[in-house]
Amino acid sequence: MSDNPDPRQNHLLDALPPAERERLLPHLELVAMPLGQAVSESGMHMRHVYFPTTCIISLLYVMEDGSSAEIAVVGNEGIVGVSLFMGGETTTSRAVVQSAGHAYRLKGQLLKDAFLRAGPMQRLLLRYTQALLTQMSQTAVCNRHHRLDQQLCRWLLLSLDRLPSNDLTMTQELIANMLGVRREGVTEAAGDLQRAGLIRYNRGKITVLDRAGLEARVCECYQVVKTEFDRLLPAQHIL
């Protein structure tokens, strides 16, 4: 477990007024999130929602032939299980742990009850959903129109924003599945970034050496997503 686990490590929980957060605390369960674990599958009825603290969860769309592509990432800024409070109950995406860590789990019905009270929780979750939709739409545009090395930079920066360090544990095969490309393409793109001195990649571990260099190389999609999250969910947002 985390050395000092705290629900407030999740920005949504931290943004709630103290009284609203205290109401949820007895029902929050700290759970380990190992790399590669499937939190939910396409079409599956979700019984819980997850508030990541030190892990990152990737939302993937999986095709009939088994190929996949990432449509969004969720870390300590958000929640996995938007469909529960939006009324859909199920989703067409698959949620997989992209970076191991921990999350707080909450029964879906308890979240729906809090949402339907039409108070701070509802306003916060609606703002988060709007930001998440921006990330999804921008990811689709990026995957269609930008170079693979730019997509990889976007993916790395979005991951770094949700982690406490500059290290990511991730194989090239998993990255290829996230980006919906061939592994050979990821090998070439990662090699370009490594030769430029921006990252170090060795045996499934990526260390970002020059974040500013990644930001200079990435397409505009990263900043569009970051700006929208900052606008809708500022760190000191008071509800």
What is the crossing angle of helices 148-160 and 172-179, to 10°? 100
Least Cα distance to 93 among 82, 85, 103, 102 occurs for 82
Q: What is the pLDDT along the chain (239 residues), one digit of tens a residue?
A: 445 889 999 999 999 999 999 999 999 999 999 988 999 988 888 899 999 999 999 999 888 887 778 899 999 999 999 988 888 777 888 999 989 999 999 999 999 999 998 888 999 999 999 999 999 999 988 988 989 999 999 999 999 999 888 888 877 777 877 777 788 888 888 889 999 999 998 877 889 999 999 999 999 999 999 999 999 986 644 44
Least Cα distance to 74 among 125, 144, 135, 141 occurs for 135
The predicted pLDDT at position 87 comes to 81
> Average pLDDT, whole number, for the chain?
89
Q: Where are the domains of the chain?
A: 7-119, 143-225
**Candidate CATH numbers 2.40.50.100, 2.60.40.420, 2.60.120.10, 2.40.180.10; the one for domain 7-119:** 2.60.120.10
Q: pLDDT digit string (tens) for 50-93? A: 999 999 999 998 888 877 788 999 999 999 999 888 887 778 88
3 CB-near residues (< 8 Å, 6+ apart): none
Q: pLDDT digit string (tens) for 40-55? A: 988 888 899 999 999 9
- Distance CA(45)–CA(63), nearest Å, equals 19
User: Residue 54 in contact with residue 2, Cβ under 8 Å?
Assistant: yes
What is the fold, at CATH topology level, of the domain defined by 143-225?
A: Arc Repressor Mutant, subunit A (1.10.10)
- Distance CA(220)–CA(77), nearest Å, equals 21
